[in-house]
Amino acid sequence: MLQSQRSESESVDSVPLQRLRGIGHIALDLDGTLYRGQTVFRETIPFLALLDRLGIGRTFLTNNPSKRPEEQLEHLRQLGIEAREDELYTSAYATVELLRERFPMIRRIFLLGTPGLAETFARAGFEMTAEDAADQPDAVVVGFDLTLTHQRLCRAAWWIDKGIPWFATNPDLVCPTDQPTVLVDCGAICAALTAATGRSPLAVAGKPDPAMLRGILHRHGLEPRQLAMIGDRLYTDIAMARATGALAVLVLTGETKADRAASAEPAPDIVVSTLGELGSLLVRAKQGHC
Ligand SMILES: [Mg+2]
């Protein structure tokens, strides 16, 4: 592991820096990496500008499948982060990718999800079945459903109980919020369905499933060695990067503290205090000073 906090006179392992030199695309976690809540980190905008100057592509990653892409982009814009739709990758896209890759026979789904999630599936060619015991789907897909009704939850349980395969968009139990509520997320809805049926989802997309990063590799025609994943969580961001073969960069602006990072397994390839430090390393690596 490379700790960038070491001075340059110290002997450091130059392998991660050499790997940084070959990076052509960076996948960025959002909360804890670019901002916390509504506060964008001071280093974020300059870091994104540096990526542009270095000709490094970027993708903004989110496990939240509930928003339409344009809503997610507007949220970033309000924080001062300009992004295009092809720079966004959500767990909704990852779920589509997972089904296409591993279960190509599935065309008709019963969906517990927002209209935004339904739109993503419809655009990808899936057909949504009705809340009707006579309209049997090929699969049930459960998302972070902000429009959930008891009736549809029961219909999902009915199909799952009948042995219809089921999938989840993301494993998160709750969605972080600064509002006076607990935002029950996909993982907790799935827990209710598992309790009711005794069956667990066949696969769960979103971080830490490597399908999330494989989708980005496919989208841009990249090799894993050309991709770096930057995030603040060891068990999602770093685990996923290591499983995919991408360069795993942990930033200490979110959940993980330095002492925990030092003993982590799987270990990040690079640990930086801020995006600014990573920017300096990228410049050094691209200039060949390693
Ligand atoms: Mg995060």
Expressed in angstroms and rounded, the spacing between residue 46 Cα and the centre of ligand 1 is: 19
Cα of 234 from ligand 1 centre, angstroms: 10
Mention the CATH class of domain 106-204.
Answer: alpha beta
Q: Looking at domain 2-63+207-286, what is its CATH homologous superfamily?
A: HAD superfamily/HAD-like (3.40.50.1000)
33 Cα: distance to centroid of ligand 1 (angstroms): 6
Q: How far is the CA of 158 from the centre of ligand 1 (A)?
A: 34
Annotate 213-238 with b (16+ C-beta within 10 A) or e (fewer).
Answer: bbbbbeeeebeeebbbbbbbbbebbb
How far away, in angstroms, is 221 Cα from ligand 1 center?
Answer: 25
CB-CB neighbours of 280 under 10 Å = 13
* Centroid of ligand 1 to alpha carbon of 163 (angstroms): 35
Please state, in angstroms and rounded to a whole number, the distance separating the CA atoms of residues 275 and 44. 7
Cα–ligand 1 centroid distance for 91 (angstroms): 14
Amino acid, single-letter form, for residue 133: A
Token code pair at residue 3: 């700790």
pTM: predicted TM-score of the whole model, two decimal places: 0.86
Residue range(s) in the chain whose domain bears CATH number 3.40.50.1000: 2-63+207-286, 106-204
CA 30 to centroid of ligand 1, rounded, Å: 6
User: Residue 112 C-alpha to ligand 1 middle, in angstroms?
Assistant: 25
Strand locations in 107-216, DSSP E? 108-112, 127-128, 139-142, 166-168, 174-175, 183-184, 203-204
Count of other CB atoms within 10 angstroms of residue 262: 11
CA of 22 to the centre of ligand 1 (A): 25
Tens-binned pLDDT, residue by residue, of the chain (290 aa)? 555 444 443 334 567 888 999 999 999 999 899 998 888 999 999 999 999 999 999 999 999 999 989 999 999 999 999 999 999 999 999 999 899 989 999 999 999 999 999 999 999 999 999 999 999 999 999 999 999 999 999 999 999 999 999 999 999 998 877 678 999 999 999 999 999 999 999 999 999 999 899 989 999 999 999 999 999 999 899 999 999 999 999 999 998 998 888 888 889 999 999 999 999 999 999 887 55
54 CA → ligand 1 middle, Å: 24
